[in-house]
Amino acid sequence: MAKFRIIALVDCDSFFVSVEQAEHPELKNKPVCVLSNNDGCVIARSREAKKLGITMGMPYFMAKREFKDCTYLSGNHELYEEYSKKIMNILKNISPDVEVYSIDEAFVDLTGLRRLYKMNYAKIALMIKSKIKEEVDIPVSIGLAPSKTLAKLASDKAKNTNGLYIIGSRKIFKELKNTKVDEIWGIGNNTGALLRKFGILNGYELISQTDEWLKSKINITAVELKHELMGEAVYKVDNSEHIPKSIQHTSSFKNFSSDKNFIIKELNYHIHRACLKLREIKASCLSISILLRTKDFKTYKEKRILSAPTNFELEISAIAKELFEKIYDSSILYRSSGIVLDKFSFNNETQLYLFDDTEFSSKKDKLTKSIDNIEKKYGKNSIKTGY
């Protein structure tokens, strides 16, 4: 890998709020907050809501009392995930090297793309911004720099500079003199405190130390960060997909319920969404758990280990129903239900299971493939399996 690279950190502005504004344009340029689960506190704010003085994590009852003109919305995380996926796909179409860092942030290695797009890197960054705005109506800020650590620093600054901030090699020293060690990505509280103890207060003072000194007095990460801050890409943009160890799908009911049919229907919906995710990562699961949570926040869980892996709704829902019968009590009011699938095996591992009926398997594969294709074409939940 060439030593000097051009890395962008693309970060969505007030992501959850921006998604809500994209879905409901009448909320644009207004104070809007998105609330945490069960509407406990504020977890995202529009620029206007920030200006009013609403702080991150402020309890909802307090915000509602003090800032009546703001619109407060319950979070819709499934929707945010959908938007996230679309944005990441736009980025993956621009560069093969995209590292999804969080739901609303990604590193994109742009090295060499100048020739492909016949424009300089700043223009490529602006193209990314306008593409995301046009296609999904989400504003993003971009930090551009020769390493991930510097790109992260640049993206923090981009928030106050029209959404693009570049730290080129000539600007590095000046930037680092103005950057406290605690503001550097990868420096946690302990390392920050240790550096300060030795009188190293800003990024420039950090890169002025020798590797040997940093290694012996601080840690090896400090050495890596030093070189990152000097504009050498020590950390690679990692485009490998992170495969989850388990898939969980749960949600609260609109109203508390002890209605058996209703709860089973909800469970089947979760099973369907979890199976979609499972098939997306080309996996099957060997373990199924169902969760029921009561009005009084007691959680009941029941688990089954299967003899052969599956990612097929009908198989899982049949087992889930048996598990449900074990823990369901008609005299209890429930507030939520959910499913957890784990112990994955991957389709390319071609495990042969004794007693597995291959004809049934291939029919199942065809059926699930057509479900997924129809959903891709006509949108989520356009198909409902009759359970």
CB of 44 to Mg ion, least distance (A): 9
- Dist CA 58 CA 54 (whole Å): 7
Q: Which is nearer to Mg ion, 57 or 386 (CB)?
A: 57
Nearest to 203 by CA among 149, 281, 269: 149
Q: Which is nearer to Mg ion, 11 or 313 (CB)?
A: 11
CB of 104 to Mg ion, least distance (A): 4
Nearest to 149 by CA among 88, 199, 101: 101
CB of 142 to Mg ion, least distance (A): 11
- Dist CA 8 CA 125 (whole Å): 8
Token reading at 30 = 């207004």
CB of 11 to Mg ion, least distance (A): 4
Q: Which is nearer to Mg ion, 43 or 306 (CB)?
A: 43
CB of 341 to Mg ion, least distance (A): 29
Could you count the other beta carbons within 10 Å of the beta carbon of residue 276?
A: 19
Q: Which is nearer to Mg ion, 49 or 286 (CB)?
A: 49
How many angstroms separate the Cα of 74 from the Cα of each of 25, 279, 322? 17, 29, 33
- Dist CA 32 CA 52 (whole Å): 10
Q: Which is nearer to Mg ion, 11 or 315 (CB)?
A: 11
Displacement of CA 280 from its chain's centroid (Å): 16
Q: Which is nearer to Mg ion, 12 or 290 (CB)?
A: 12
Q: Residue 247 phi/psi, 5° resolution?
A: -125, 125
Binding residues for Mg ion, rule: CB under 5 A, are 11-12, 15, 104
Tell me which DSSP letter residue 338 carries.
E
Task: Identify the three-state secondary structure at position 284.
Answer: strand
Q: Which is nearer to Mg ion, 12 or 150 (CB)?
A: 12
Do 257 and 233 form a contact (C-beta atoms < 8 A)?
no
Token reading at 34 = 């998105």
CB of 141 to Mg ion, least distance (A): 8
CB of 113 to Mg ion, least distance (A): 23
Pairing outcome for strands 164-166 and 140-145: parallel
